Structure 1
Amino acid sequence: MDWLRAAFAIVFTLGLFIISLLVHELGHTVAVWGMMGWDKVKVISAGSVSFFRHGKLRLGILPTWGYVLYAEDEATPEMRRIIAVAGPMASLMLAGVFSLLHIVIQAKGWSEAMYAMALANYAICGFNLIPIPPLDGWKVVETYLPSLGILLTRESRAKLYQWGTIIVVVGSCLYVAIVGPYHR
């Protein structure tokens, strides 16, 4: 019976992480929808290895990555900044909800799970504000580059995002390898 509880805990935790990624991406989506219209949202994806697809929504089984594709070329730099920051702000609000649930729920195990999810969402918020492509912090910085005389072509932007993704993944793995997954 212990294996059943462990399996449930793993599936439940993965589900909470997918929900956390989805809320982050829905923050971006709501900003696009509010400023540009629903038709400008192309794809909302949370997690990798998609197991659910419906309309514009894609959900993955692994809580590793998320994104929103929208008509970015039609957005002003100000719109792009708001859209970029909306995801981390949604994560911050969800972290607050999990923090409140941690305080309210007194059941051992569940309270700790809510605390862990609060920390995870604070981390999602902060991590995404780092100015490395393709993170949200970079998307804000990127909107200021033309005013500094730096114009990125589609090819150079794609290359920056490709290398940035490698840096983020390798850096994250190194951090976990050096510090450990449960550093306090």
Structure 2
Amino acid sequence: MNDLMQLLYFLLATLVTLGLFVVSFLLHELGHALVIALLRGKEAVLEIRAGSLTFYRGKILRVGILPIWGYVRFDEENVPPSDWRLIFVAGPAASLFTAYLFLVLHHFSAMLGFPENWHQVFGIMALANFALAGFNLIPIPPLDGWKIVESWLPLVGIRLSQEARAQMNKWGMIFIMVVSFGFVAIHGFHH
């Protein structure tokens, strides 16, 4: 029976951890969506997606169980570059805000009566959200950092077609996946 309980606790911990990561991705994307709605009106937000293997499908919101990626779809072509900068910095800013919320929970979890393992989870989630904010600011397509850089390109006479942007996003995503899997293959999950 003890082995069964350990397995159940492990499965519960895995589901809770995945859930917290999905919430982190969702809050990141909601940061983008909030700024789009403030600048362009809430009807300008066409789709908000966080995670894959969708388990919730609303009018414009899709939430998946695997925290692999997320995005907000809006009419990028009709948004001025100055708005792009605000929109694409908003996701990392939301991740920083979420990281600090987890730090507060980490700091006060013992006083609030949470078990020790929750204290650790809150600390890990704070670090994960700091990492999510920093990672998204790397200027590689399709990350937020690239979108911010891309918003400055018209000022130097560079205008990317939709096809060129789609190709850059595809190859950027492939590059990110290869580097990520290579890092894990070389260093493992526990480094």
TM-score category of the 2 structures, normalised to the smaller one: over 0.9
1:143 paired to 2:151 = yes
Cα deviation per residue 1:105-148 (whole Å; 9 max; x = unaligned)? 12210000001100100000000000000000000000111112
Local SS of the residue matching 1:109: helix
**Which amino acid in the other structure matches residue 42 of structure 2?**
W
Pick from 176, 181, 184 the counterpart of residue 184 of structure 2: 176
Structure 1 position 182, deviation (Å)? 2.8
CA distance in 2 between counterparts of 1:102 and 1:178 reads 31
The equivalent residue for 2:92 is 88
- Aligned pairs, how many? 183
Pick from 27, 39, 42 the counterpart of residue 38 of structure 1: 42
Cα deviation per residue 1:50-97 (whole Å; 9 max; x = unaligned)? 111011000011100000001212211010110000000000000001
**Which amino acid in the other structure matches residue 126 of structure 1?**
G
Pick from 14, 21, 26 the counterpart of residue 17 of structure 1: 21
CA distance in 1 between counterparts of 2:93 and 2:189 reads 24
**Which amino acid in the other structure matches residue 49 of structure 1?**
L
CA distance in 2 between counterparts of 1:149 and 1:178 reads 41
TM-score, with length taken from structure 2: 0.94
Structure 1 position 10, deviation (Å)? 0.3
Local SS of the residue matching 1:44: strand
The equivalent residue for 2:52 is 48
TM-score, with length taken from structure 1: 0.97
Pick from 49, 65, 68 the counterpart of residue 69 of structure 2: 65
CA distance in 2 between counterparts of 1:176 and 1:31 reads 34
Local SS of the residue matching 2:116: coil
**Which amino acid in the other structure matches residue 74 of structure 2?**
Y
CA distance in 1 between counterparts of 2:60 and 2:77 reads 19
Q: Could you tell me which runs of 5 or more consecutive residues in structure 1 were left unpaired when the two chains were aligned.
A: none
Residues 92-171 of structure 1 mapped to structure 2, 5 A cutoff: 92-106=96-110, 107-171=115-179
**Which amino acid in the other structure matches residue 62 of structure 1?**
L
Q: Could you tell me which runs of 5 or more consecutive residues in structure 2 were left unpaired when the two chains were aligned.
A: none
1:8 paired to 2:7 = no
Identity in percent: 49
Higher Rg of the two aligned structures: 2
